[in-house]
Structure 1
Amino acid sequence: MLEKAWYSKARWVWVLWPLSALFWTISTLRRYLFKAGFLNQIKPARTIVIVVGNISVGGNGKTPVVLALAEYLKKKGWSPGVLSRGYGGTQTEFPHLVASSDGPALVGDEPKLIAARTGLPVIIDPKRPRGAQRLAQQESCDVVICDDGLQHYALDRDIELVVMDERRYGNGHLLPMGPLREGTWRLDTVDMLIHNVDNFKRAELLGVSTAQFHMQLTPGEIVNVKHPEQRLSIAAFVQRYTACEALAGIGNPERFFTQLKQLGINCRTTHSKADHHAYCAADIPPGPVIMTEKDAVKVAQIGHDECWYLEVCASLPDTLYKQLDKKLAHLAG
C-alpha cells in the first residue's frame, strides 16, 4: 500500500511528514559525522572499491549491473570480488564466503545468484568494511564490488554507480513519505548514473552533472529450474508452450512481465511477489511456469519439472566501460 502511494503520488503520505523530517535529520547528521571525520570510513589498502547502489528503496536492476561489471573486470585482468549484505538470509556469522552448498535461505538470493553466475568470491557481511577487508586479504581481490550500500558510509569507496529504472524517485520525498533514502541532490555526487529503461531519451535527467548511461536487459536462453542442462531458445519455448504462468518476486515485477510479452511469450496469469519473497510450494502454479533467475535460485528445491527461468544480462554501452577504465587506471596509478 505504501509503495503504491509513493509512485501514484497519493496525497495522504503527508501524514508521514514528521517521520520523514526525523529521517532527514538523522541521515544528514550521520553524513556530516563521516564527512567531518568524527566517524571513520574504512577500506582495504591497495584495493579499489566500487559501490553499485541507488537513492531509493527497492530493486531496480543493481544485480545485473554487478554481474556485468564483475565479468568485465575479470576479462580485463582484475581480480574482483563481490560484497553484499546478504539481505533475507539467516546466516549469523560474518564475514561469510558464499559456498556452492549454501542455500539462498542462508545467504540471500542475490549473493547466491552472483556466486553461481560468476564463480567469483562473494562475501556477505552487514558490516561492509569488515567484509571488504576479507575479500582483499583472504580472497586476494584487488577490486571490491559492493552490491547496494550507497548509504553505508562506513565503507570508503572510490567509484559510485547509481542504477535507476522508469520509476525514478517516485514522489520525490524521503522515507517514509516517499521511496528516497537520500535526496535527489545525491545524483550529482556519484560517478555514473545508469538508467535501466527502454527509452533512454525520455529517462535521461536534465540538469544532472553526472554522466548518464543506458542499460538494457538482454534476454538469453530459457533454462529449466530443476534440470539446468535443459535450455530452450525463446522461439523453441513459445513453440512448446502456447501459454504459461509468469512468476516474479523482484523490485519491479511488471517490468519482467512486460518483457515476456514483448518476447512473444503468452502468459495466462502473472503472479507478483515482494522482492526477496520466501517461496513455498504453494506459491508455484502447476503447469509451465516462467520466472526470473532470482526467483529460480529460491525455488530450485521446491519447483516442479515445468518451472523455467529467463536468463538476462545487462547490456552496458562501451562509453561506460571506457570511463570506468580511465577511473581504474587513475586509481591504480
Structure 2
Amino acid sequence: MAAAAADDARGAAARLEAIWRDGGPAQWLLRPLALLHAALVGLRRALYRAGLRRRERLPVPVIVVGNRVAGGAGKTPVTIALVQALRQAGRRPGIVSRGHGRSHTGTIREVQPADTAADSGDEPLLMRRRTGAPVVVGRDRAAAARELLARHPDTDVIVCDDGLQHLRLARDIEIVVFDERGAGNGWLLPAGPLREPVDAPPAGRVQLVVLNTDRTEPPPGAPPGERSRRQLGRPVPLADWWRGTPSDTALTDEAAWAALRGRRLLASAGTGQPARFFDALRAHGLEIDTLALDDHHDHMTLPWPASATEVLVTEKDAVKLDPARLAAERPGLQVQVVPLELQLPAALIAAVLQALPAR
C-alpha cells in the first residue's frame, strides 16, 4: 500500500511538472491560484517588514540556505560544504533543520550519529555525519537554534538548512540555491515551481546566489550567482560508509570507476532530482538500470527487485540502510554508496566570511 501511494505521488508530481513545462489549458487554469499564492507571500513579507509579525534575533549570526523553486536544488550539499568551509576558517558552526520525514515532527531534537532517519530525518542525519557539527531539528527553526546554543554555547554561527521562507528566524546572510531548472516557467505554485518570486527582497543584510549546475548556459530566469562544482566521489561499500572508512586508496579514481564498468548495476535514488544522480553515473561510463524513488523514501521495505545483485545509492538513502539489516534480508547483495562532493566557489566563501560579524 505504501509503495502504491508513493507511485501515485510520483505520478502526480510528474504530471504537474509536465504542466509547468508544456503549458496549455491546465496551466492557465492554475494561474489564478498562483496569483493568490503570490499575494499571500507578498502580504506575509510585508507584515514582517512592518514589524507586525516579530522576527526572532539570535545572539550569534545566522546564515540561511534555501531555494525559491520546489524540489531538490541541492540545498543540503551546499549546507554541508558551507559548514566545512566555516570550520576550516576557524568558526564553530551549528546546523538547524526541520527534519523532514522524522516520526515526531513536533519535537526539538539534537541529532546523534547513531540516530535513525526516523528519529531525526535523513538530511539532518547526513549533515551530522558529514560535518561533525552539532545539528538540532525542529519545525520552529528559532526554537531549534536556541536549543542548539544551550547545548553547545561555543557555537558562533548558525546555519539553517532549508529555511528561506521561515521568516520568523532573523538572518544575517541568505544563500539562495538554483539548479539547472532556474526559475522554471516563472510562475508560483501551483502554476509553476516557484515558492516565492525570484526577485523577492532579501530578509537579511546580505543575499548570495549559488548556481548548482554543470551546464555552461545560465539557468533560465535565475539571478546571477556563483557557480558551484559538483562531482561524484568514488563508490564506497555500504558497511564501510557507515563506519566512516574511506574507499580503497590503492585505486585511483579512474580505476575505481573502471572497476564498475561492464557490470550489471542498479542505481537507486530517493532524492528530489534522481535523474541528476543517474546522469552523473552514466558520465562515468556506467551502464545502469535506474529506480527513481519518491524524495525522502523511507526504505522500510527494500525497494530493489530480487534480480538486483549490485546497487548504487546516494548518501541520503544510505543513512536509512543499516548494513546488518541488509545482510540479513538480502545476503549477497552488494550496495555501494556514491557520495556527492560539492565545492563552493572561493568568492562566495570569502563573501560569507566578510559579511559575518566579528566574534
**TM-score normalised by the chain length of structure 1:** 0.91
Counterpart code for 1:323: A
Q: Match for 1:26 among 40, 44, 48?
A: 40
- C-alpha separation in 1, matches of 2:319 and 2:24: 35
Structure showing the higher strand proportion among its residues:
1
Size of the alignment, in residue pairs?
326
What per-residue deviation string (whole Å, max 9, x for no partner) do you get for residues 70-95 of structure 1?
A: 11111111110011000111124532
> Is 2:284 aligned against 1:263?
yes
Name the structure 2 match of 1:42: 56
Among 210, 214, 218, the residue aligned to 2:227: 214
1:316–1:325: structure 2 CA closer, same or farther, 3 Å change rule? same
Taking the TM superposition and a 5 Å limit, the aligned residue runs for 1:258-297 are 258-267=279-288, 269-285=289-305, 286-297=308-319
Asked if residue 238 in structure 1 is aligned to residue 251 in structure 2, the reply is no
> Structure 1 stretch 65-74 or stretch 98-107: which is displaced more?
98-107
Aligned-partner SS, 2:228: strand
Three-state SS of the structure 2 residue aligned to 1:57 is coil
Q: Distance in 2 between matches of 1:132 and 1:230?
A: 32
- 3-state DSSP of counterpart to 2:218: helix
Q: Secondary structure at the match of 1:332?
A: coil
CA distance in 2, matches of 1:172, 1:118: 35
Letter in 2 for 1:332: A
Tell me by how many angstroms 1:205 deviates.
5.9
Tell me the secondary structure at the aligned position of residue 160 of structure 1.
Answer: strand
Cα distance change of structure 1 residues 10 and 38 upon mapping to structure 2, 3 Å threshold: same
Counterpart for residue 320 of structure 2: 298
Q: Which residue of 1 aligns with 2:77?
A: 64
* Alignment partner of 1:313 is 2:341: yes
Cα gap change, 1:2/1:62 in structure 2, threshold over 3 Å: closer, same or farther?
same
Residue 114 of structure 1 deviates from its aligned partner by 0.5
Offset, 1:26: 2.0
Percent identity between the two aligned chains: 37
- CA-CA distance at 1:106 after TM superposition: 2.0
Q: Counterpart amino acid of 1:106?
A: D
Amino acid across the alignment from 2:70: V
**1:160 equivalent among 174, 183, 191:** 174
Say whether the 8 Å CA contact 1:251–1:275 is kept in structure 2: yes
Which amino acid is the alignment partner of residue 289 of structure 1? V
Q: Deviations over 1:120-169 (max 9, x none)?
A: 11000110111111222321211110000101100000000011111112
Deviation track 1:205-227 (CA, whole Å, cap 9, x = no partner) reads 68x4xx61011212222111134
Give the residue type in structure 1 aligned to 2:37. Answer: F
Partner of 1:248: 269
Q: Mind listing any 5+ residue stretches in structure 2 that lack a counterpart?
A: 1-14
- State the distance in 1 between where 2:316 and 2:237 align: 13
Helix, strand or coil at the partner of 1:90: coil
Secondary structure of 1:20's partner? helix
Partner residue in 1 for 2:136: 123
Q: Does 1:332 align with 2:358?
A: yes
Query: Aligned pair 1:85/2:98, yes or no?
Result: yes
Cα displacement (A) at 1:187:
7.1
8 Å Cα contact 1:204-1:212 kept in structure 2: no
* Displacement after TM superposition at 1:300 (Å): 2.9
Verify the 8 A CA contact 1:224 1:230 in the aligned structure 2: no
Cα deviation digits, residues 242-266 of structure 1 (max 9, x gap): 2311111111111111110111222
The answer to which of 195-204 and 270-279 deviates more is 195-204
Q: Partners in 1 of 2:299 and 2:23 — Cα distance?
A: 31
Deviates more, 1:94-103 or 1:110-119: 94-103
CA deviation vs aligned residue, 1:150-202 (integer Å, no higher than 9, x gap) = 01100000000011111112111111111111112127776211111112443
Query: Which residues in structure 2 correspond to 1:155-234 (within 5 Å)?
Result: 155-186=169-200, 191-203=207-219, 208=223, 212-228=225-241, 229=245, 231-232=247-248, 233=253
Q: 1:163 to 1:92 in 2, by over 3 A?
A: closer
Cα deviation for residue 22 of structure 1 reads 2.5
Which secondary structure state, in structure 2, belongs to the residue aligned with residue 308 of structure 1?
strand
Alpha-carbon distance in structure 2 between the residues aligned to 1:94 and 1:3: 33
Distance 1:234 1:187 in 2: 45
Structure 2 Cα separation of the partners of residues 120 and 86 of structure 1: 16
Confirm or deny: 8 A CA contact 1:43 1:132 kept in the other structure.
Answer: no
Contact 1:289 1:307 in 2 (8 A): yes
User: Does structure 1 retain, via aligned residues, the 8 Å contact 2:268–2:292?
Assistant: yes
Q: Distance in 1 between matches of 2:293 and 2:280?
A: 17
Gapped regions of structure 1 (runs ≥ 5): none
Distance (Å, rounded) in 1 between the aligned partners of 2:74 and 2:188: 21
TM-score (norm 2): 0.84
Distance in 2 between the 1:96 and 1:234 partners? 41
